[in-house]
Amino acid sequence: MSSPELPHSSRREFLGAAAFALAGMGVSAPALMAQTAKGAPGQPPKRPPNPYVYQFKIGKIDCFSISDGHMLFRQGLDLMWPESDRPKMKDALVFNRERLDALPLYVNVLGLRIGDEVALIDAGFGERHPNPNFGWLAEGLKTLGIRPEQVTTGFLSHCHTDHLDGFVLGDKPAYPNAKIHMLKAEHDFWRGPNPDFSKSKRDKKPLPAMVKSVNRSFDILKDQIVFASDGQKVFHDAVTVIAAPGHTDGHACFEIRSGEESLVHISDVVHHHVLMFEDAGWTVAMDHDPETSVKTRKKLFTRMAAERSRAYGFHLPWPGLGTVVPKGEQYAWVPERFSWGS
Ligand SMILES: [Zn+2]
C-alpha cells in the first residue's frame, strides 16, 4: 500500500494542508485532529508511546516485529476491485465482524538479529513524518536497544511511501551502515523516464509527487542500494529474496530460514486480513498491475497453504504473524497467538 502519499518536499506544508486534501489522501479525521493539536511551540508533535514491540524466534534467529503505526482508509470498499464484487466483500466483512466505514491497515516492520548485526525488512514511514500515527519504528528500535549503526542490512519490498521513507532521515540515510537490497525491476520502474501506472485503479493525482519523492530517496540512498535477484540469499544466507510482481513491478517477498524453521514475509501481496484471503482475486486500487498481483497472490497462497508456512504480513494485524490456510476454494488468515516466551 502506498497511500497516503506524502512526498518529503510537501511535508512542511502538510500541517497547513486543507482537510479535504487530507481526506483524499486517506488520512483519518482523528489523525488530522491529533496532528493539528501539536506539542508546545518549537517542540515536535507529541507521539503516543509505542508499546508495539514483539520478539520471537525463527530457528536460532532473534526476530522482532515493530509497529510503525497504522492507516485508516476512509474510502472503504471503494478501494477494492472488481467493483461488481463489492456486495460480496461487504458480506465477508459483516460475517467477520469487521468495520465497514473504513479499511484499517497496519504497518509492521520485521527485524532480524544475528550477533550484533540487524536486518530490517522495509522501514515504515520514517520518524519525522508529521502524522503521529506513523513513524514509530525508530522508537521501537530504541526500546530494543538497537542503534541505527547496527542495522547492516535493509530489504526494500517496493518503493511506496510506507516502506521506503523510513530508510531516509531528512536528507541523510537513516541507517548509514546498511546495504539495502531490492529488485532491479523496482528500481528501474521508478528511475525510468515515464513510470507506467496505466493499469492501476489508483488515484493518479499524487503520482508525480510520489515519483519525485522516490527518486529523491534513491539519490540519498544511492551508495547503499544493492540489486538483489530472485532466489538470492542475503544476511548470512538466512533471507531469500522472492520476486512477487503486481503490487509494483519489482515487488519482493522474503523467506527467512534457520534450521528447520522458516517464515515468509508476504509484503504487500495482501493488504487486508479478510478480503484478499476470502477471494484471492480481489485487488486493492494501489496495485500497479492488478492482474499480475492476483497471479502472484494465488501462486504464493497455493504454496504457503500446502506447506502451512508461517507468514508475516506488512499490513496485517500487528504483530503480523500467522498462517495462510485453505478454506474451500479460497483461503483464510489464521493469526498466531502472542507467546510470552522465556
Ligand atoms: Zn504498503
Q: The C-alpha cell of 195 is what?
A: 513510470
Q: According to DSSP H, which parts of the chain are helical?
A: 11-14, 19-25, 29-36, 86-95, 137-143, 161-164, 184-191, 207-220, 275-278, 290-307
- Read off φ and ψ for residue 48, nearest 5 degrees: -70, 150
How many Å lie between the centroid of ligand 1 and the Cα of residue 60?
28
Reply yes or no: is the peptide bond before residue 4 cis, omega within 30 of 0.
yes
* pLDDT at residue 32 tops 60: no
How many Å lie between the centroid of ligand 1 and the Cα of residue 122?
10
Q: Is 341 inside any structural domain?
A: no
How many Å lie between the centroid of ligand 1 and the Cα of residue 315?
7
Grade residue 24 by pLDDT with cuts at 50, 70 and 90.
Answer: very low
Domain count, the chain: 1
Q: Is 1 inside any structural domain?
A: no
Q: Is 54 inside any structural domain?
A: yes
Grade residue 49 by pLDDT with cuts at 50, 70 and 90.
Answer: low
* 37 or 140: which leads in pLDDT: 140
* pLDDT at residue 177 tops 70: yes
How many Å lie between the centroid of ligand 1 and the Cα of residue 2?
5
How many Å lie between the centroid of ligand 1 and the Cα of residue 161?
8
How many Å lie between the centroid of ligand 1 and the Cα of residue 238?
23
How many Å lie between the centroid of ligand 1 and the Cα of residue 40?
32
Q: What is the pLDDT of residue 1?
A: 52
Q: What is the pLDDT of residue 50?
A: 53
Q: Is 2 inside any structural domain?
A: no
Q: The C-alpha cell of 241 is what?
A: 529474496
Q: Which residue range(s) make up the domain with 193?
A: 8-335
Q: Is 250 inside any structural domain?
A: yes
How many Å lie between the centroid of ligand 1 and the Cα of residue 160?
6
Cα separation, 333 vs 282, in Å, equals: 15
* 224 or 340: which leads in pLDDT: 224
Given a contact cutoff of 8 angstroms between Cβ atoms, the answer to whether 325 and 308 are in contact is yes
Q: Is 288 inside any structural domain?
A: yes
Taking residues 30-57, what's their average pLDDT? 62
How many Å lie between the centroid of ligand 1 and the Cα of residue 268?
6
Q: Is 65 inside any structural domain?
A: yes
Q: What is the pLDDT of residue 338?
A: 84
Taking residues 102-111, what's their average pLDDT? 97
Q: Is 3 inside any structural domain?
A: no
How many Å lie between the centroid of ligand 1 and the Cα of residue 162?
6
Q: What is the CATH number of the domain that holds 251?
A: 3.60.15.10
* pLDDT at residue 105 tops 90: yes
**What is the tens place of the pLDDT at every residue in 77-98?**
999 999 999 999 999 999 999 9
**Nearest Cα to Cα of residue 312 among 157, 207, 178, 84:** 157
How many Å lie between the centroid of ligand 1 and the Cα of residue 200?
15
Q: What is the pLDDT of residue 27?
A: 37
How many Å lie between the centroid of ligand 1 and the Cα of residue 280?
17
